[in-house]
Amino acid sequence: MPTVLTLGSTITRAGCMTRLDNVVGRGPADLERAIGYKLGRLAGGFYVLLLKDALKAGDVEFFGYTHFSGGKVGKPSNDPAVDAGRAPVQARLAADVGTAGVAALAERFTTGLADQGAGPLVKITPMNDEADPANKGDEYPVGAGIPQWNLRTGLAKSFYVAAEVHGSVWSLANGARIDVSHVDYRRANDAQPAAQVRTYLSEVICP
């Protein structure tokens, strides 16, 4: 069944997040490669969800970058037994800096989000939500390596449905429709379509 969300609404989600700057300006195929979605998963459109709730250190897991599919080291597998043998990134981090060190890093990350300069945390939700649970290795391949963090299972947070994207057209919760492929080199960088989308999503006050 396709996922249907309402722009401007608030929903509850857990799972992987990235930063806004890793998303804006990418077409569906490019974003699939960046995040680590099976080719074509975003072709039918996707939603951009903005995190509304404040985070505490214990809410998140460090998943590294999207070339660590599912936050684990190594190539993902469709065989659950094989995939279970992949080491979690956070466990590797704890081996390096200790449990207290991981907690300190999480505290620094969650308390300094506004000062980190890469836009708010976002989730990408495909409209085509027909992933095959028996073939997770194929559905969630190794990504291109953008930062990712995971909201722990059971600690879902509120997200604002801020944009609906089809191809290069971003429909925003304020009613605007912006085609980010229409670049006008006579205009300043901050007046370009992708920059307008980023500005709105960075500054929108989630109801």
Across the chain, where does the E strand assignment appear? 10-13, 15-19, 46-51, 60-65, 121-126, 147-151, 157-166, 169-172, 177-179
Q: Is the CB of residue 155 less than 8 Å from the CB of residue 141?
A: no
Model-wide pTM > 0.95: no
pLDDT at 1: 64
Domain boundaries, given as residue ranges, for the chain: 10-203
Question: What is the block-wise mean pLDDT of the chain (207 residues), using blocks of 10 residues?
Answer: 89 95 92 96 96 92 96 95 96 96 94 69 90 86 96 92 96 96 82 92 81
Q: Considering only CA atoms, which of 85, 106, 83, 87 is closest in space to residue 95? A: 87
- 179 CB-near residues (< 8 Å, 6+ apart): 168, 169, 170, 193
Cα separations in angstroms, 164 against 8, 50, 133, 168, 206: 10, 12, 25, 11, 16
- Report the amino acid identity of residue 175: G
pLDDT at 163: 97
Q: How far apart are CA 171 and CA 156, in angstroms?
A: 25
pLDDT at 161: 97
Q: 3-state class of 145 per DSSP?
A: coil
pLDDT at 162: 96
Q: Give the pairing of strands 121-126 and 46-51.
A: antiparallel
Q: How far apart are CA 128 and CA 190, in angstroms?
A: 32
- 7 CB-near residues (< 8 Å, 6+ apart): 161, 162, 163, 164, 171, 172, 173
pLDDT at 12: 96
CA 18-21-25 angle, to 5 degrees, is 115
Q: In the chain, which residue ranges form alpha helices assigned H by DSSP?
A: 28-35, 80-84, 89-111, 136-139, 193-203
